[in-house]
Amino acid sequence: MTEMARKRRWKRFIDQESGKALVVPLDHGLTMGPIPGIHSPEEIERWLSAEIATGVVLHKGYAERIGGGLSCGMVIHLNGSLNIDEQPDLKQLVTSVEAAVRLGADAVSVQTNFSPATASHNLRLIGRVVDEAHSWGLPVLSMVYDKTRHDDRALEHLRHFMRAAVELGVDALKVAPPAQLERIPEVLDGVQNHTPVLFAGGALAEENALLALAAAVVRHGAEGICVGRNVFQRAAPALTLQRLLQVFRTGAITDIRFTCPPTQRERETELAV
């Protein structure tokens, strides 16, 4: 009954020109603290704008502080843990779908790090969140990671965990890309045609590797990327986002130089002068 509402809301995360999602997670502060790039709301507002990102992922506190000035899609992240926790992969609910609705969320997300110790917890979590979010017409982005530490079966395990989330009704998936990008079709097989798949950017790496991931997303028909540290920990986050958007729109990595658009705060300052 709420399928149309969920689809309409998910479209807010899609770039109309490329048909791809370029989502920036900014939820790392809960887990990792005030790391470089997201030290303060003001630091984020200097470079973030809807012209270069189709959506953001925020915990509720930062949604209240910067979400009101954003015109891109907003995902409220519902669970988390501190990296000093005895079981950091066992992420607990820290807010509710109803609270996300009150904040004006376009979607909600949960992160599920799968291991033998967390598997049953994760299934209960996903099932509960999906039921609650769908009753409000909100799509659910499920961030699915394999923490089993069996590298020889990594792809097999990831596909199992993705399927489990799909079986429980999630609307989109965020997963780590395979080490060999040519194996992306194996990750997407049987999934992307009904459940959008976004690939995570991971820890800060060479920008060319990030652009290559974006090109592979276009080449293999994935939904987009969900990239945080590989954007906000660079000297010029807006420039990286523009380069990614250009890859999505052209399918090619180019050496074009970009002029960063003004942020919402900069535009308001100009109007006030």
Cβ 76 vs Cβ 59: under 8 Å: yes
Pairing label, strands 197-200, 140-146 = unpaired
Which residue's entry shows tokens 């699915």?
Answer: 144
Dihedral angle over CA of 35, 37, 43, 44, nearest 10: -110
**Quick one: residue 27, left, alpha or beta (phi over 0 = left, psi -120 to 50 = alpha)?**
alpha
Known catalytic residue: 62?
A: no
Q: How far is CA 148 from the centre of its chain?
A: 22
Angle at CA of residue 55, ends 178 and 21, nearest 5°: 45
Residue of 20, 60, 145, 147 marked catalytic: 145
Alpha-carbon span 77 to 55, nearest angstrom: 13
Known catalytic residue: 147?
A: no
Pairing label, strands 92-93, 79-80 = antiparallel
Dihedral angle over CA of 49, 54, 59, 64, nearest 10: 50
Alpha-carbon span 63 to 72, nearest angstrom: 12
Dihedral angle over CA of 130, 131, 132, 134, nearest 10: 70
Residue of 20, 60, 91, 174 marked catalytic: 174
Going from the C-alpha of 20 to that of each of 116, 182, 222, the distances in angstroms are 34, 19, 8
* Tokens read off for 266: 């900069």
Alpha-carbon span 256 to 211, nearest angstrom: 13
Active site residues: 145, 174
